[in-house]
Amino acid sequence: MSASRPILVTGVSGFAGWHLARALARHAPVVGTYHTRPIEVAGVTTLAIDLAESAVTGALIRSLAPRAVVHAAALTDPNDCERRPEAATRANEIATANLVVALDALAPDAPLVYFSTDLVYPGDRAFSRETDPTGPLMHYGRTKLAGERHVAARRGVWTVLRCALLYGPPAPFKSGATGWMRERIQRGEPLTLFTDEYRTPVHVDDVIAAVERCVDGAPGAANRILNLGGGERLTRFTMGEAVARALGRPTDCLVPARLADSTFPAPRPADVSMDTRALAALLGRRLLSFQDGASRRSDPLP
Ligand SMILES: NC(=O)c1ccc[n+]([C@@H]2O[C@H](COP(=O)([O-])OP(=O)(O)OC[C@H]3O[C@@H](n4cnc5c(N)ncnc54)[C@H](OP(=O)(O)O)[C@@H]3O)[C@@H](O)[C@H]2O)c1
């Protein structure tokens, strides 16, 4: 395999893609794609592409012959996906299917790392395992699960990463799961957070470490589904408390509320916390605690 073949990262104008492209570019040539929001990323060649156009995706894979693909592009706002189901199916399922077809035809030796979501689980239990039944409550989750099935049916090597709430230093267009909490708490503004919605938030540094292993074809990553979450089951409210502690600010601006009393266009599962022992085994270490992650300094944007 030629060392000069690039790693392709899709969705580099997004939160995960931006962090991943920057990190992978420290060790390898990286090409990153965006769709509507042009972006420059240090050390990365960026291109505009609509991955839902099969001919365009095929031409991209033919011209790059990537040595690995990290597919982080998606329509990610569940409420937007519920309101615009065809757009969500196009961006999340059809784009993924296009990538799989193009890779199997043109770069079959390139591992494909697909970002799925904890929202493929129905939310009826704590610490879902990778082998537990799926059953997404909303269209976003259904399109991501459909993407998983295309990926797992490919001939070449694949990994599905079921990603939890992502947090870490802000990216240019998105600040991650804790960004808005930090801003409100720093300004002392009321911040309403659910006390009955459970997640296993994951710091972007653990995400980068996992993806690096997948791209390198680590045995614990090939042809499997992995829960990509942190080690702790937290409510939004307890996350807010940890962010306030990290900032050295009082918690009196936090306002408790109940998901059970709320309505959103996209139904939200109560508990999509995940069992992340397989991820910790892949990394060979403990996952970052939420308190430590929330206390990590944000590196400045280039
Ligand atoms: N963030 C989270 O907490 C979280 C949680 C669970 C799972 N995930 C999954 O992790 C991945 C990354 O999420 P994120 O929050 O980083 O995403 P994001 O910030 O919303 O960015 C999404 C990216 O996808 C691109 N995109 C959308 N439609 C496209 C299309 N048709 N063709 C090509 N590119 C397209 C966007 O391009 P433009 O912006 O240029 O249009 C953008 O770069 C997604 O697969 C998501 O489902 C994220």
What pLDDT digit, counting tens, does each position of 155-182 carry?
999 999 999 999 999 999 999 999 999 9
For residue range 177-218, list pLDDT tens digits in order: 999 999 999 999 999 999 999 999 999 999 999 999 999 989
Ligand 1 proximity of 35 Cβ (cutoff 6 Å): yes
The percent of residues above 70 in pLDDT, for the chain, comes to: 97
Tokens at 187, concatenated: 């300004």
Between CA 246 and CA 242 the distance in angstroms is 6
Q: Nearest to residue 245, comparing CAs of 170, 199, 178?
A: 178
The percent of residues above 90 in pLDDT, for the chain, comes to: 93
Q: Positive or negative CA dihedral for 188, 297, 76, 42?
A: positive
Q: How many angstroms is it from 73 CA to the middle of ligand 1?
A: 4
Contact 177, 165 (CB under 8 A): yes
Q: How many angstroms is it from 249 CA to the middle of ligand 1?
A: 31
- CB neighbourhood size of 228 (10 A): 30
Q: Positive or negative CA dihedral for 59, 93, 177, 276?
A: negative
Q: Which of 41, 51, 76 to mutate to test the pocket of ligand 1 (most atoms within 8 A of CB)?
A: 76
**Block residue for tokens 């230093």:** 169
Residue nearest to atom 18 of ligand 1 (CA): 14
Tokens at 294, concatenated: 């929330």
Q: How many angstroms is it from 35 CA to the middle of ligand 1?
A: 10
Distance, C-alpha 99 to centroid of its chain: 17
CATH class, 7-167+201-228 region: alpha beta
Between CA 148 and CA 100 the distance in angstroms is 11
The pLDDT value given to residue 286: 94
Q: Confidence band (pLDDT; 50, 70, 90) for 301?
A: very low
Distance, C-alpha 18 to centroid of its chain: 11
Q: How many angstroms is it from 70 CA to the middle of ligand 1?
A: 12
**Residues 189, 195, 201: CA angle, nearest 5 degrees:** 85
Residue 1 in this model has a pLDDT that exceeds 50: no
Dihedral class, residue 135 (left if φ above 0, else alpha if ψ from -120 to 50, else beta): left
Relative to the CA of 18, which ligand 1 atom is closest? Answer: 16
Length of the chain: 302
Residue 92 in this model has a pLDDT that exceeds 70: yes
Q: Is 3 exposed, middle or buried (0-12, 13-18, 19+ CB in 10 A)?
A: exposed
Contact 75, 115 (CB under 8 A): no
Q: Nearest to residue 102, comparing CAs of 156, 57, 159?
A: 57
Distance, C-alpha 96 to centroid of its chain: 14
The pLDDT value given to residue 217: 86
Relative to the CA of 15, which ligand 1 atom is closest? Answer: 16
Q: How many angstroms is it from 77 CA to the middle of ligand 1?
A: 9
Contact 10, 64 (CB under 8 A): no
The pLDDT value given to residue 3: 52
